[in-house]
Amino acid sequence: MEMALDDFEALERGAPETVRLEFIAGRLVVKPMSDGDHATIFMWVLRQCMQQRPELALYPGRGLEVERDRVGRARVDGALAPVGTFAGDGEWSDPAGVLMVLEVTSHDFDTNRRIRREKRDGYAAAGIPVFLLIDRDRHTLTVHSEPEDGTYRLDPAFAYGTTVKLPDPVGITLDTEALKDYAA
């Protein structure tokens, strides 16, 4: 459904906490709530970030202004940024201090379009340096980096079980063997 940004923000403010709304590519998107494996994978990444980069925080469910001219609104699974980056912000934040966004796929009908294409492109257009996609359907991690002209120049995919070095400015190494335990 297409709508104006102001209309989306008014609708989102009134939505119950059991519903997560996003505004991607000019459309209203209802994001499904996560299951236990989704939450466990998020926590696994969170622990890796805290151990290796304690000056950073992986903010869950943060609302970011994305796309060109910040006209999109994405509720990311995780936003990696220096501690305190979002202090004083409202529901939606400028992504200027974000080093990486994390998305863990859900088993829903529009994952391919919404996460693998539209959100990826929105994050690149906003200049977010790294987009880490943990894809539970494909059992891979895709590391999108080097945003340029609204796209990520690099996007290597790694199978679960591989050691993955996230590029600067993130600089975290993930031993992904544990992800095999959460493959559906």
Whether cis (ω within 30° of 0) applies to the bond prior to 169 is yes
Q: How large is the average pLDDT for residues 129-149? A: 95
Comparing 141 with 112, which gets the higher pLDDT? 141
Q: What is the pLDDT of residue 109?
A: 58
Count of other CB atoms within 10 angstroms of residue 74: 29
Pairing mode, if any, of strands 100-104 and 63-66? unpaired
SS3 state of residue 106: coil
pLDDT surpasses 60 at 112? no
Q: What is the pLDDT of residue 69?
A: 78
pLDDT surpasses 80 at 183? no
pLDDT surpasses 70 at 30? no
- Confidence category of residue 127, pLDDT binned at 50, 70, 90: very high
Instruction: Tell me the pTM.
Output: 0.82
Which domains, from first to last, does the chain contain? Answer: 35-182 (3.90.1570.10)
Query: Could you tell me where the beta strands, DSSP code E, fall in 11-168?
Result: 20-24, 27-31, 56-60, 63-66, 72-75, 78-82, 92-93, 100-104, 130-135, 140-148, 151-154, 157-159, 163-165
